[in-house]
Amino acid sequence: MIIPYLDKERILGNAWDYSVFTFFDLLGFKYAVRNVPQEKLATLMMNLAHCTNIAKGYGGDPTELETHLKNWENPIKSVHFSDAIIVFTEDDSIEAFKHILWVAISLLGTGFSLGFCLRGALSYGSFYYDLNSNIYFGEPLIEAYMMETQQEWAGCVLTRSCIKVAEARGYLDDAVIYSKFERYENGVEKVSQRIRIPLLVKYKVPLKGGAEELYCVNWPNCWVSSKEVLPMRQKIIELAFHRPFGMVSFTGKCEVTNKLKNTLDFLWSRFE
């Protein structure tokens, strides 16, 4: 048997003791594989991968995410495999934490707009990866995957261990961005306001074992500019649930109806 040479320095170089990690799953993907033309599905997946890269390098607005988190340079990695998306950092700084939250928020909003629903969880801990060999493992991956499968909606939460670490470091209070909002007064004068948007909010998250108060990413306030556009956004979400990936209607399936209701309840709760 031939035993391949292993570069120990390279192996150790990819093992991160402190990493912020998120795992996303595409809801209804197995049905899409069976019912959506492969070319169309591939195009949708490529669009999602492109949007992931934009969010990683930062291409949204909320005032350029505070000048791209004050010119933070540490890259965020991402991997797409079938219906799974993993996004992770190489450090556990507040900048990394905020950036990966923004990536999660961007993916959720982009998913709805492209016609599918994402569900994920954000975790923390030691993680090993090798992009060239496609090797990924660690406690954050297991914990995020298990937490993702427990949720009964389209959304993303922090795992319990991630909450403990973030709380101890003060990250939960610091996870905010400021977005510039412009409006007209009396239809004439344009007024600019700087709006504080929390990236995380506490909410009774619908889980398979019952609702539990957890921290979840605040995609509604980042994806919806005002209460007036809520009905339009609701229709986009309804379409993503009932006709995911543009395929035949899912209307009437109890599990889809419940997940949709839970998702919309969270959306509207952020504008009460």
Is the entire prediction scored with pTM above 0.75? Answer: yes
For residue 211, the model assigns a pLDDT of 96
Helices (H), 127-272: 139-150, 160-169, 171-174, 219-223, 230-242, 254-269
3-state secondary structure 1-56: CCCCCCCHHHHHHCEEEEEEEEEEEECCHHHHHHHCCHHHHHHHHHHHHHHHHHHH
Residue 178's closest CA among 135, 127, 221?
221
Residue 28 vs residues 31, 90, 120, 260: alpha-carbon distances, Å: 6, 31, 14, 13
Write out residues in the chain with pLDDT < 50, as ranges: 1-13, 59-63, 68-69
What pLDDT was estimated at residue 16?
55
pLDDT score at 259: 94
**What is the pLDDT at residue 59?**
46
pLDDT score of 188: 55
For residue 7, the model assigns a pLDDT of: 47
pLDDT (0 to 100) of residue 44: 83
Domains defined along the chain, listed by start:
13-269 (3.30.70.1230)
**Interatomic CA distance for residues 269 and 258, integer angstroms:** 16
Check residue 74 and give its pLDDT: 54
